[in-house]
Structure formats: structure tokens, C-alpha cells
Amino acid sequence: MAEQKVHLKIRRQDGLNGQAYWQEFKVPYEPGMNVITCLEEIRRNPKTAAGKPVAPVAWECCCLEEVCGACSMRINGTPQQACSALVEDFQQPITLEPLDTFPIVRDLIVDRSEMFRNLIRVKAWVPIDGTYDLGPGPRQPAKEQTWMYVLSRCMTCGCCTDACPQVNDRHEFIGPAILSQVRLFNAHPTGKMHAGVRMDAVMGPGGLTECGNAQNCVEVCPKEIPLTQSISELGRDTLAYGIKRFFSKPDVEM
């Protein structure tokens, strides 16, 4: 009986300014294999479907359990994690492309630094490091912990940003994941002390008003983070904050 194969079509590019091109590969099928397993097989034996030796395909992964966000790519056109993408769930040939929103480093590897720069821009952290002990912090009801935990599962994988039509060369929109993190840190018992600084950031250029409410983001998030809910809650909060800011002094700087 002929060996069962997985047929892959991969968009490749040597670097940021290189020319994109497609190559096809066929790797032996094994039950339960995922897209990373296929890419590992191509790395072991870098030959096209026609048998031509080529440079191994470049891609990234780390955790292999949908936690680090490194293996994001477009699989059959949809941004998702390659480590949790089971071959049997896809129609063949399976097309692999780099995320479109970020600069290409090589083949399927993109540079997601912009997301991390945006997290810095909105101060998505709780400032607990200092020269003195801040103590245990206020207690938090279990109900709040539950919904905040869902938001905290964001792995900055970039899938939502890739799917969002508002993140492009014409806008400086920071994207849905960053807005959701603002909601998370503003709700944190210690983080909320600096909520105003974050609100100022999301009310500025590239912030909340750039969202066109297309809802593509929430559909692709592998962690099922309620991004559009975060965005609408944040919209309500910015309205209240705007009124408060109008009548009071600026918030504390971090």
C-alpha cells in the first residue's frame, strides 16, 4: 500500500525585502501529527515535492503547547498556532504563510516586536518593584479573579492583530490584544492605581477609537479571550475617565 503523505504549500521569503515564492512539500503522514511535526520533517529532509533539495524552511516554536505564541502563522489562510494545528483538521494542500501584519524575518518567522512596544506604550504592567516592600496588596474577590484570569492568558501571539483590518500601514492602531491588557491591568487591585496613565495612552492616537468593530479578532484568538467585550468595556471606561479628567488634575506618572 502506498505511503500516505501530507501535502504542504509554503510561502517562503529570504528576508524583509526578499521576493516571496511558493514551494510544495510532501511528508509522510502519521496519525495525530500537527503542522510543527510536518515542518520538523521538512527540516530533516529539505526536498520539495518534486525531489529538489532546498534550504530548510525557517519557522519558530518554543512551548509546543499553545502557551508561548511563537509558532503563529496563517494556516489555510487563518492566523493560528502551528503547534496545535492537527493535520487531519485541514484540507490539503495545507498552505502555510507568515502572519501578514508583521515584518518578515525569514519564511514563516515574523517580527512581533511592535506588539511588545505597544504593551510598553500603554504601560501594561503592575509596578511592584521598588526599594521597599509594598505588602501583600488588597484582596480580590474570586469572581473578579475568574474573568481576569481569562484575559491574563494572552500570549502576545499576534493572531488577533493579524486578523484585524485596522492594523495596517495606514493606521497606527495598537490592536485588540493590547487594549484587552489595559482592561486587565486597570482592574488589578494594585494596577488600578495607574489606570489613568493607561487610559491617557488608549485615548490618544492609535488607541481605542481606531477599532472599527469588525470582530475578526475575537474569532481567531486561540485563548478565546473576549476581545470585543474588553474593547467595549474600555470604551465605557474611557468615557467616564474623560469626564473625570475634565474636572480633575492629571493622574500619577509611573
Give the footprint of ligand SF4 on this chain (CB under 6 A): 154-160, 163-164, 166, 176-177, 180, 211-217, 221-223, 225, 227-228, 231
CB of 124 to ligand FES, least distance (A): 20
Show the cell assigned to 91.
Answer: 484540507
Amino acid at 53: P
Q: H or E stretch including 229?
A: helix 227-247
CB of 219 to ligand SF4, least distance (A): 8
CB of 166 to ligand FES, least distance (A): 25
Residue (57 or 184) nearer to ligand SF4, CB: 184
Residue (8 or 160) nearer to ligand SF4, CB: 160
Question: Choosing among ligand SF4, ligand FES, none, which partner's interface includes residue 110 (Cβ < 5 to 8 Å by kind)?
Answer: none
Distance CA 74, CA 14 (A): 18
Residue (37 or 230) nearer to ligand FES, CB: 37
Residue owning grid cell 481569562: 150
Residue (176 or 191) nearer to ligand SF4, CB: 176
3-state secondary structure of 114: helix
Q: Are strands 78-81 and 94-97 parallel, antiparallel or unpaired?
A: unpaired
CB of 122 to ligand SF4, least distance (A): 14
Question: Choosing among ligand SF4, ligand FES, none, which partner's interface includes residue 55 (Cβ < 5 to 8 Å by kind)?
Answer: none
Other CB atoms closer than 10 Å to residue 116's CB: what's the count?
12
Give the E-state strand segments of 42-201 in sequence order.
72-75, 78-81, 94-97, 104-106, 109-110
